[in-house]
Chain A
């Protein structure tokens, strides 16, 4: 019988107690200090009407940093999905821009993130919006996320080829409440929980998103085999992209009237998550104004409009019962919508005046 060798090793990397402790201290210091020092070496050029560039919308470390900066320089933060972000308009045509224009000063900051449906938005604010401080918050509720069980994340058959059919999977609830259309592995879910609780993980992700084309560095070197991997790290972040799609109305886009089904509010997952966001912000002491819509009611068929109005009523009733300042603006003129929920430049201008007229800003 061959002798069994259990003692030999094939490398000299065995560490005893003290070096192990030293390594532990080094690792902890490295993970704590580097992300904290990074903003002092990396320049964030925001400029007027800054919004997180679309391409880096999943860079939550950058969001955290922008939130910190915005809450230092502005007194009201506009939080929400692509309606706040301005999916069909340029930076200088967004809601925050028009509100600043009406007020004549840069009081309002655009903290919208494209694709951040209520379940993701709740995670974004819970884990990456801790630096809102005591700023006033205008929180936009986009009813489009309750238009069907698909958007409500309750259709388990939704695009089986993907782990999650929408953006921002790391932000959605990983364990409770269960999201039926989310099919991530147990390890993947733990990974997301760690990523959003450890600033170091968010920082490494930031490097990938901001400098390495949203890829890991090994994957990036595969596309740039002979380039110095430090070269892309310019340490300068600026407003990169402008409007994403053509600023034309929904009718010019050829969208027809739709018989949107709408979900039952009580069983809606997205509505539940939106309510969680409201409670979270209030528990943090942020003065809050919730703006619902304005959804493009011109696009709905008669039966669908009836269902929508009932849903809107339910939303309003809850906000009133919770004594949350809120605004349900009337629908904007049909030609100022780009699709079901996104206004165009003129629509944002109108909306800005409606929002600013609320007594929330008169206090």
Chain B
């Protein structure tokens, strides 16, 4: 089930919300209700997913009971790492590994081929092989709990139901934000007060997210898919515009999901973390990653970059840690070379911009807009590998951008105006206090909300396209 489909809006959420309001004074019943609703929400895709999330939850809860106090706490932590990362490796990366292994074996002429163990296991159980939706999100969320308990940063959660609700809470289950136990678990204690402001702000968040997804991301997808599904048939302008369009598509798609998630959670009295903060106005790659998928960036910072040493050592060690973190981040996104190249390019970009930011010329003389434009163009360049997924597709796109003519890209003007309007809004909002005050004026807010509703009601296409990040 996805937030923007009618089954969620008109049935699931109405039922769950009403039940939640009725039960919210009884913490135990609320947890049962939320956990059951979340499991239904997740199982709606495929019931076998529930086995995975239930197993991960139970194991990490059990490990949590021992990892903080046991004399063999490291062993317990390793068990949690192996189980969570093993699950990810089995379902998400086994295909990639077997494919590359088979290609290598075929390259040396050996008549042997490995079988994807996940696929074989699923088929042996009479099920179709399917990558569980959002597996990278809930395993990371669960894993962060055991690591934090191990480090002594978090109290052990002794109530399995509360822990299961934390891992599975439906607003953030399939595509984040990847919540930290330190933020979400305490919110599952006691009873919640839901104010009118919580409700109206939650509705506002949801409306903005819904608009981003349905009116913007799905519209952009029409053009991006047309071009990227047949890159050999398009010339440089279309390929360039499709790449820029994908940059906006993935932003609106993912941040739209997060806005809806935060909105739904806020209506229920929960506060989820900020996950996107106008990333395309970033002035450096570091700044970009402080604004893009913040919950993942901070996860990698806290659980990979800092444990590797962070920036405490030499400049070389810092860069090495940075590169390693970005490469792992790329691999987290998907089991394909395109994602790894994307991660590697961001690693290089971060190193270069960090160097540049150390010079007074770059910091003081280069106009902010030029930095923003530079970051945006670089990020768009890296998206080619992300959207292309395979090296072959990305290479065709790149080659044709530089080698083909300047044929008519046939990019819809309405779409261009729409995207530029949203970009202008972001520049105003992130620009300065005066501009921000202007867009925050109540009549402006109301007019924009009304315009979004009219667009959604009359113009936007119906249907529920899946979210891009569900694949991860």
What B residues does A2 contact at CB under 8 A? 298, 301-302
| Interface-lining segment among A60-68, A184-192, A328-336 | A184-192
Least Cβ–Cβ distance between B223 and chain A, in angstroms: 6
Asked if A23 meets B6 with Cβ closer than 8 Å, knowing A11-B425, A15-B200, the reply is no
Interface bits A6-39 vs B (CB < 8 Å: 1, else 0) = 1111111111110110110011001100000000
Interface bits A225-238 vs B (CB < 8 Å: 1, else 0) = 11001000000000
Least Cβ–Cβ distance between A25 and chain B, in angstroms: 11
What A residues does B201 contact at CB under 8 A? 14-16
Interface bits A213-232 vs B (CB < 8 Å: 1, else 0) = 00011110110011001000
What A residues does B445 contact at CB under 8 A? 12-15, 19
- Tell yes or no: A200 within 8 A of B by CB: yes
Q: How far is the CA of A269 from the CA of B373 in the complex (A)?
A: 62
What A residues does B196 contact at CB under 8 A? 16-17
Interface core residue of B6, B203, B271 (most chain A CB under 10 Å): B6
Question: Which of these, A1, A14, A27, A186, contacts B204 with CB under 8 Å?
Answer: A14
Least Cβ–Cβ distance between B203 and chain A, in angstroms: 6
Main secondary structure of the interface of B (DSSP, over half): helix
Do A221 and B200 touch (CB < 8 A)? no
Asked if A194 meets B439 with Cβ closer than 8 Å, knowing A207-B458, A229-B414, the reply is no
Question: Which of these, B223, B226, B410, B448, contacts A13 with CB under 8 Å?
Answer: B448
Interface bits B7-31 vs A (CB < 8 Å: 1, else 0) = 1101100000000000000000000
Asked if A15 meets B449 with Cβ closer than 8 Å, knowing A187-B464, A191-B6, A222-B412, the reply is yes
Least Cβ–Cβ distance between B253 and chain A, in angstroms: 15
Do B301 and A218 touch (CB < 8 A)? no
- Tell yes or no: A247 within 8 A of B by CB: no
Asked if A4 meets B415 with Cβ closer than 8 Å, knowing A13-B207, A17-B196, A187-B6, the reply is no
Q: Which of chain B's residues has its CB closest to A188's CB?
A: B6
Asked if A8 meets B439 with Cβ closer than 8 Å, knowing A17-B196, A204-B457, A229-B414, the reply is no
Least Cβ–Cβ distance between B116 and chain A, in angstroms: 26
What B residues does A26 contact at CB under 8 A? 450, 453
| Interface-lining segment among B128-136, B228-236, B274-282 | B274-282
- Tell yes or no: A266 within 8 A of B by CB: no
- Tell yes or no: B106 within 8 A of A by CB: no
What A residues does B413 contact at CB under 8 A? 221, 225-226
Asked if A20 meets B200 with Cβ closer than 8 Å, knowing A4-B183, A12-B445, A15-B445, the reply is yes
Interface size class of B (residues with CB under 8 A): 35 or more
Q: Which of chain B's residues has its CB closest to A19's CB?
A: B446
Q: Which of chain B's residues has its CB closest to A208's CB?
A: B461
Asked if A222 meets B277 with Cβ closer than 8 Å, knowing A11-B429, A17-B197, the reply is no
Interface bits B201-223 vs A (CB < 8 Å: 1, else 0) = 10111011000000000110011
- Tell yes or no: A5 within 8 A of B by CB: yes
Asked if A187 meets B205 with Cβ closer than 8 Å, knowing A1-B182, A204-B457, A218-B459, the reply is no
Q: How far is the CA of A6 from the CA of B148 in the complex (A)?
A: 19
What B residues does A187 contact at CB under 8 A? 1, 5-8, 464
Interface bits A128-156 vs B (CB < 8 Å: 1, else 0) = 00000000000000000000000000000
Q: Which of chain A's residues has its CB closest to B216's CB?
A: A218
What B residues does A226 contact at CB under 8 A? 413
Question: Which of these, A6, A11, A14, A185, contacts B272 with CB under 8 Å?
Answer: A6
Q: Which of chain A's residues has its CB closest to B449's CB?
A: A23
Q: Which of chain A's residues has its CB closest to B425's CB?
A: A11
Do B183 and A225 touch (CB < 8 A)? no
Do B464 and A30 touch (CB < 8 A)? no
Least Cβ–Cβ distance between B301 and chain A, in angstroms: 6
Least Cβ–Cβ distance between A215 and chain B, in angstroms: 8
Do A22 and B446 touch (CB < 8 A)? yes
Least Cβ–Cβ distance between B213 and chain A, in angstroms: 13
What B residues does A190 contact at CB under 8 A? 6-7, 10-11
Do A15 and B204 touch (CB < 8 A)? yes
Do B153 and A1 touch (CB < 8 A)? yes
Q: How far is the CA of A216 from the CA of B453 in the complex (A)?
A: 16
What A residues does B298 contact at CB under 8 A? 2, 4
Q: How far is the CA of A226 from the CA of B1 in the complex (A)?
A: 36
Least Cβ–Cβ distance between B329 and chain A, in angstroms: 15
Do B222 and A15 touch (CB < 8 A)? no
Q: How far is the CA of A312 from the CA of B5 in the complex (A)?
A: 44
What B residues does A23 contact at CB under 8 A? 446, 449-450, 453
What A residues does B273 contact at CB under 8 A? 4-6
What B residues does A31 contact at CB under 8 A? 457
Question: Which of these, B6, B204, B219, B425, contacts A194 with CB under 8 Å?
Answer: B6
Asked if A218 meets B7 with Cβ closer than 8 Å, knowing A6-B273, A30-B457, the reply is no
Q: How far is the CA of A221 from the CA of B446 in the complex (A)?
A: 28
Asked if A8 meets B453 with Cβ closer than 8 Å, knowing A2-B301, A218-B459, A222-B223, the reply is no
Interface bits A174-203 vs B (CB < 8 Å: 1, else 0) = 000000000001111011001000001000
What A residues does B5 contact at CB under 8 A? 187
Q: How far is the CA of A14 from the CA of B153 in the complex (A)?
A: 33
Do A10 and B276 touch (CB < 8 A)? yes
Question: Which of these, A6, A10, A12, A188, contacts B183 with CB under 8 Å?
Answer: A6
Interface bits B442-472 vs A (CB < 8 Å: 1, else 0) = 1001101110011001111110100000000
Do B276 and A186 touch (CB < 8 A)? no
Q: How far is the CA of A112 from the CA of B453 in the complex (A)?
A: 35
Interface core residue of B183, B272, B294, B445 (most chain A CB under 10 Å): B445
What A residues does B197 contact at CB under 8 A? 16-17
What B residues does A216 contact at CB under 8 A? 459-462
Q: Which of chain A's residues has its CB closest to B151's CB?
A: A1
What A residues does B33 contact at CB under 8 A? none
Q: How far is the CA of A27 from the CA of B454 in the complex (A)?
A: 8
- Tell yes or no: B38 within 8 A of A by CB: no
Do B440 and A12 touch (CB < 8 A)? yes
Question: Which of these, A4, A17, A30, contacts B200 with CB under 8 Å?
Answer: A17
What B residues does A217 contact at CB under 8 A? 414, 458-459, 461
Do B222 and A218 touch (CB < 8 A)? yes
Asked if A218 meets B219 with Cβ closer than 8 Å, knowing A15-B203, A23-B449, A31-B457, the reply is yes
Question: Which of these, B277, B412, B462, contacts A10 with CB under 8 Å?
Answer: B277
Question: Which of these, A15, A185, A188, A221, contacts B412 with CB under 8 Å?
Answer: A221
Do B182 and A13 touch (CB < 8 A)? no
Least Cβ–Cβ distance between B440 and chain A, in angstroms: 4
Asked if A6 meets B271 with Cβ closer than 8 Å, knowing A13-B448, A19-B445, A216-B460, the reply is yes
Q: Which of chain A's residues has its CB closest to B153's CB?
A: A1
Least Cβ–Cβ distance between A170 and chain B, in angstroms: 11
What A residues does B460 contact at CB under 8 A? 216, 218
What A residues does B168 contact at CB under 8 A? none
- Tell yes or no: B411 within 8 A of A by CB: yes
4 further interface pairs, Cβ-Cβ under 8 Å (given A1-B148, A23-B453, A229-B414): A12-B429, A27-B450, A217-B459, A218-B219
Chain A residues in the interface with B (C-beta under 8 A): 1-2, 4-17, 19-20, 22-23, 26-27, 30-31, 185-188, 190-191, 194, 200, 204, 207, 216-219, 221-222, 225-226, 229
18 residue pairs bridging A and B, Cβ less than 8 Å apart: A1-B148, A2-B301, A7-B274, A10-B276, A15-B203, A15-B449, A16-B197, A17-B197, A19-B442, A20-B200, A22-B446, A23-B449, A26-B453, A27-B450, A194-B10, A217-B461, A218-B219, A222-B226
The 6 tightest CB contacts between A and B, nearest first, are A216-B461, A6-B271, A221-B412, A12-B440, A187-B7, A2-B298
